Structures are given as C-alpha cells and as structure tokens.
Structure 1
C-alpha cells in the first residue's frame, strides 16, 4: 500500500509542477473502485465503492473541471468519513457534507 501512496503522490506533484510551468496536467485521486483495484475489498466508513462505469463518468467530469487535482469518491456519509480523516473537511464545503453522491 505504501508503494501505491508514493506513486500517487508523485503523480500529484508532477501535475502541479506541469501546471506551474503553464502546461496541462490533471491528477485524479480515486476512491474505492468496487470491481478492481487494491482497495476493492477494504471497508472504509462513509465511503461506498463505485462501478467501473461510475469511475469513467467521474473521470470525464474531472477532466472537464480544468483543475490540477481532483478526487473522485462515492460518499455514503461524508461526516462519518471526515471523522476518520479530518483534513478532508478542507476540500468539501460544509453545505455539501450531506449531499450524498454529489459531494
């Protein structure tokens, strides 16, 4: 799991570096894919897994935002998730905490 985290951090840094140079680049921080991946069988309170189709839809949305770093997640309960990972509260506006899948 630490190799996975290090690789993702490198991708994040590369996208931010490219952006600082005026180049394009987007990094997507994925939540749990339900059908494939390292986290498919891990239960994280507040998160639901998503299908490959939902993930592709999330990717399409992420690429349209023109943001450097985007998280694609399917929250069951963001308040419950953010109790375990309090720093995530900085990234989701409080008025969207109970928005279900739209947060």
Structure 2
C-alpha cells in the first residue's frame, strides 16, 4: 500500500463476471471476486488498481492448454479463447486506460443470448441493448438543435461545466476555469467514470473511458465533444462559422 507503484494489475477470471456451474467453480468465482473488490478499494484510496476478467487463453491457458473438452464446451456455449498475442495486446491497452474492472472474453453473442436468455443477471443488459437500438434524444440535445450555430460552443461549455461541477460536488460551476486541469480540481478514476457516463447520457453518443486523461481541461473536453461528437448529432447546415472561446469572458468570437 505504501509503495509508489505505477500499476497494480490483478488477473481475475470471467467466472466472477459471468458465473459458472458447480460448487468448486463457485469458490473459484468468489476468490476472483475478491480481486475485483480489491481493485475498486485501492482506487477509492487514490492508488492504482485494475482487475481483468480473463476468459480462457489458448495454447497456454488453464482451461484450454490442459483440457480439450473444456475448449469444446466453451465453444458450444458461444465462448471462444484468447490467443497469447491477443492477451498481451489487451493487457497493454488496459494498463494504459483508466478502467478499474474489465472483462476480456471472446463471445459469439447469438449463441450466448440463447443460452442465458432467462438469466436475471442479464435482464438490465438486455434492456440496455433495446435502448441503444432505439435511442431517444435528451433534453439537452433538443435544446442544442434549437440553438443558432454561433452559440453552440457557449451552450456546450455551460453544459459540460455543470456536469463536472455535479460529479465534484462544486456548488458554483462558473468557478471552474477553462484551463484548470480536471485532476487539479479533484477528479479521480471513479468521478472520471461518473463524468463520462453523464456526458454519454446527455449527448447520446459514445465517450471514451480515458476522456479526462486525453482531454484534461474544460476547454480541451469541450473542443473534443464539439468537433468529434456533436457535429454528428445536430442537424444543421454543413457550413458552420469557425468559432473560438474567449477564455476570460466565455464569449463567442466569429
């Protein structure tokens, strides 16, 4: 706990994420569930922590390398194996992200859905898929569509500033400066995820989990959302005047 570590990576199992049959596997799932909880606990203390739910690994994995029957059973249930190369690529990607708990499991969803259609565990997941398939516009997006093009950035600044203030419990959003770093304001891995979820919910678009690392200030985040996401969501003329934010007064300059 007192060592200045850059990484603290725990190798958990997909069994603690998706479950498995049998008392022995239940104990195994519980043991790996402890690792998941430890990663979250460390993050709440401001320490590095990442727990990865690995699926079966081919050639060298416990379930594949020693038991061909297990491999056949996994395939029948719609689950595949991770190659060693994919394993290392996934590990490198996840270690550079801000995620706390992630599953890496090759799944053929058509087969998997048939098998677990009655699982209460996945009821919320199924509802989420339906929601994604039939998205509805948020109140903010409707307001954005009714806003003149030359006022869009200013509206977005106010919206993102409010979201940051809410996750950090800041009572006066206007006190958040455009160039102040989010981590200087107190954002950590948990509030970063909360901010990302708020932005995804209000903008109805995908926001990367590393958004506060990649765009660590209000100004950088607004520019990213405006240029990469909102232009795809809002229907108006393809010709939009180039705008710049006056950082002191937040006025639009054409």
- Superposed pair shares fold, TM > 0.5: yes
Q: Which of 51, 57, 62 lines up with 2:89 in the alignment? A: 57
Mapping of 1:1-103 within 5 angstroms? 1-40=25-64, 41=68, 42=70, 43-44=73-74, 45-75=77-107, 77-85=108-116, 86=119, 87=121, 90=125, 94=129
Per-residue deviation, residues 33-90 of structure 1 (Å, max 9, x unmatched): 1122332142222211121111111111222221100111122x12322443443573
Aligned Cα root-mean-square deviation (Å): 2.4
Instruction: Give the conservation status (yes or no) of the 8 Å contact 1:48–1:74.
Output: yes
Aligned residues, how many?
93
Instruction: Give the conservation status (yes or no) of the 8 Å contact 1:59–1:72.
Output: no
Q: Which residue of 2 aligns with 1:101?
A: none
Q: What SS does the corresponding residue of 1:70 show, helix, strand or coil?
A: strand
Q: CA deviation at 1:9?
A: 0.9
CA distance in 2, matches of 1:2, 1:37: 19
Unmatched runs of 5 consecutive residues or more in structure 1: 96-103
Is the radius of gyration larger for structure 1 or structure 2?
2
More RCO (CA 8 Å, sep 6+): 1
Instruction: Give the conservation status (yes or no) of the 8 Å contact 1:33–1:51.
Output: yes
Regions of 4+ moved over 4 Å:
none
**Which structure is higher in helix share?**
2
Instruction: Give the conservation status (yes or no) of the 8 Å contact 1:31–1:49.
Output: yes
